[in-house]
């Protein structure tokens, strides 16, 4: 019988050192994006996954009446597209990128987005992914043990090598022994609702406001102004299923039946037997109550990207068709469990002129029925201005523009060989 790996479930110094050596090194993607080409249906399905009925993201006919002159993709659609052009790694790079922190719980903790250009129907987007930062904590409050936060940078570019958007995504790896000892969720049980509770949630849904074709001018916005809240929940399995219908199943390449079997042969560590002996993906913590409880949680929970999409929905409802969502950041500070209800809200905290842009700064919140702000965030929106004119799309930093051009040039050079 093979000996058990003594480092399984531990965050080792060796893995931390190797993680730091990955910083700035482009990562090859073994799996194709869910949407290699942006289609009208793909955009609509993505908006559907977010519970967002904005016609700008759902109708080419409506889009043609806007300043964009066509349907455009929801801002977070970049999550479901982007063909990676990084070449396959050689043996040295394979060793560098071999799985880190084996048997350790890994949790999405937040994201920082920047958008420079819209995605249109029939657009192809390309992406380069790399680690940008590694943070280590001993005796973390989250787990009671050692934790590592890995930040991954995705730079999205179009066919001409023009930057479209950037994502800085943060994941926390925590030693499970420490996580169980912390016991911070021991008192939480799945929420139950009375008809009166549901009526109050339904009232928020009923009062949702879509600014749409009516411009919101920078001059008309006041600091302290509140955004009309958006309701999300109570979270059900339908919400999880719908999320996957629009955003795909996983960047890890998991799939059903025989496709799942083949992927399991490629990455066996991603599969853990369930209570019946059936190997299933570790990702099932998002829908498998028993798996979540085995990890010390009261029940299954949502995806961090879901709450990001919900805050985007809140902001784009408020800003209207003529505006541009430039930046959005949010943190996942607590789990959003099955049955929880989230009310997304926001407040104007600043207004400024930055270069050619009339900018509004927002503070955002995702508050559950327990009064917890599970995903606080911020956003910067460029609004049309009576004095300064319509929105001019923001420009990326010169080093980002240069990097985007190099990505496409390198791919072209390799194709000619």
Residue pLDDT, tens place only, 371-390: 999 999 999 999 999 999 99
**Closest Cα to residue 301, out of 44, 121, 108?**
108
Question: Three-state DSSP class for 291?
Answer: helix
Going along 264-413, which residue ranges are E strands?
A: 271-273, 279-281, 324-331, 342-354, 357-368, 377-383
Say what the pLDDT of residue 107 is: 84
Q: Tell me the helices (H) and strands (E) count for the chain, helix number first.
A: 11, 12
Q: Which residues of 15-42 are buried (b: 16+ CB within 10 A; e: fewer)?
A: bbebbeebeeebbebeeebbbeebebeb
Residue 289: the pLDDT is 92
pLDDT band at 6 (very low <50, low <70, confident <90, very high): low
Query: Looking at residue 143, what is its pLDDT?
Result: 58
Strands 342-354 and 126-137: unpaired
Percent of the chain with pLDDT over 70: 95
Q: Tell me, what DSSP letter sits at residue 286?
A: G
Strands 324-331 and 377-383: antiparallel
pLDDT of residue 7: 67
From CA 153, how far away is CA 156, in angstroms rounded?
Answer: 10
Burial of 282 (0-12, 13-18, 19+ CB in 10 A): middle
Phi, psi of 23 (to 5 degrees): -60, 125
**Coil, helix or strand at residue 337:** strand
The pLDDT value given to residue 186: 77
Tens of pLDDT, residue by residue over 68-88, are: 999 999 999 999 999 999 999
Buried/exposed code over 70-105 (b: 16+ C-beta within 10 A; e: otherwise):
bbbbbbbbbbbbbebbbeeeeeebeeebeebbeebb
pLDDT of residue 371: 97
Length of the chain: 417
- Express each pLDDT in 192-239 by its tens digit: 999 999 999 999 999 999 999 999 999 999 999 999 999 999 999 999
The strand pair at 147-157 and 126-137 is best described as antiparallel
On whether the CB atoms of residues 141 and 335 are closer than 8 A, the answer is no
Q: Calculate the average pLDDT of the chain.
A: 93
pLDDT band at 178 (very low <50, low <70, confident <90, very high): very low
pLDDT reading at 185 higher than 80: no
- Sequence-ordered list of residues with C-beta below 8 angstroms from that of 112, at least 6 positions apart, any chain: 167, 168, 327, 328, 329
pLDDT above 80 (res 183): no
H helix runs in 248-371, sequence order: 257-266, 289-294, 304-319
Q: Given this model, what pLDDT does residue 127 score?
A: 97
Distance CA 115, CA 198 (A): 36
DSSP structure string for 213-279: TS---GGG--TTPBPPPEEE-S--HHHHHHHHHHH-S-TT---SHHHHHHHHHH-GGGEEE-TTS-E
Residue 369: DSSP 8-state: T
Closest CA to 102 of 300, 270, 296, 314: 270
pLDDT per residue over 102-136, tens digit each? 878 788 899 999 999 999 999 999 999 999 999 99
pLDDT tens-digit profile of 342-357?
999 999 999 999 999 9
φ and ψ at residue 327, rounded to 5 degrees = -140, 145
For residue 101, the model assigns a pLDDT of: 87
114 by Cβ neighbours in 10 Å (0-12 / 13-18 / 19+) ranks as: buried
pLDDT at 177 over 60: no
Q: Per residue in 258-317, pLDDT tens?
A: 999 999 998 898 899 998 999 999 889 999 999 998 888 899 999 999 999 999 999 999
User: What local confidence, expressed as pLDDT, does residue 141 receive?
Assistant: 64
d(Cα 164, Cα 155) in Å, to the nearest integer? 8
């Amino acid at each position: 019988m093979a000996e058990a790996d003594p480092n399984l479930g531990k965050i080792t110094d060796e893995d931390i050192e190797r993680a730091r050596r990955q910083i700035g090194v482009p990562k090859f993607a073994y799996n194709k994006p869910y949407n290699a080409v942006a289609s009208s249906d793909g955009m609509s399905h993505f908006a559907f996954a977010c519970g967002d009925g904005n016609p700008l993201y759902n109708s080419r006919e409506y889009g043609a009446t806007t300043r964009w002159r066509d349907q455009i993709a929801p801002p977070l659609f970049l999550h479901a597209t982007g063909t990676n052009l990084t070449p396959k790694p050689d043996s040295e790079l394979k060793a560098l990128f071999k799985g880190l922190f084996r048997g350790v719980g890994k949790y999405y903790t937040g994201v920082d987005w920047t958008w420079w250009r819209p995605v249109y129907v029939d657009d192809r987007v390309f992406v380069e992914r790399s680690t940008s930062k590694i943070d280590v904590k001993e005796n973390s409050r989250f787990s009671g043990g050692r934790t590592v936060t890995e930040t991954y940078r995705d730079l999205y570019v179009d066919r001409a090598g023009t930057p479209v958007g950037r994502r800085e995504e943060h994941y926390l790896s925590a030693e499970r022994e420490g996580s169980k000892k912390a016991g911070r969720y021991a008192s939480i049980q799945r929420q139950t609702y009375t008809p009166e509770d549901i009526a109050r949630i339904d009232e928020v849904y009923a009062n949702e406001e879509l600014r749409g074709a009516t411009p919101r001018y920078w001059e008309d916005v006041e600091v302290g102004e509140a955004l009309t809240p958006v309701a999300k929940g109570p979270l059900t399995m339908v919400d999880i299923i719908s999320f996957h219908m629009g955003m795909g199943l996983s960047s890890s390449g998991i799939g059903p039946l025989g496709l799942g079997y083949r992927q399991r042969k490629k990455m066996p560590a991603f599969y853990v037997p369930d209570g019946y002996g059936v190997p299933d993906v570790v990702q099932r913590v998002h829908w498998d109550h028993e798996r979540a409880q085995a990890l010390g949680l009261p029940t299954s929970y949502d995806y961090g990207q879901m709450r990001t999409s919900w805050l985007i929905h809140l902001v784009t409802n408020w800003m209207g068709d003529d505006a541009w969502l430039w930046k959005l950041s949010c943190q996942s500070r607590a789990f959003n469990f099955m049955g929880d209800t989230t009310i997304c809200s926001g407040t104007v905290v600043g207004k400024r002129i930055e270069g050619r842009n009339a900018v509004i700064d927002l503070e955002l919140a995702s508050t559950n029925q327990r009064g917890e702000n599970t995903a606080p965030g911020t956003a910067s929106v460029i609004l049309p201005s009576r004095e300064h004119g319509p929105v001019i799309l923001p420009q990326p930093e010169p080093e980002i523009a240069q990097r985007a051009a190099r990505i496409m040039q390198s791919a072209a050079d390799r194709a000619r060989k």
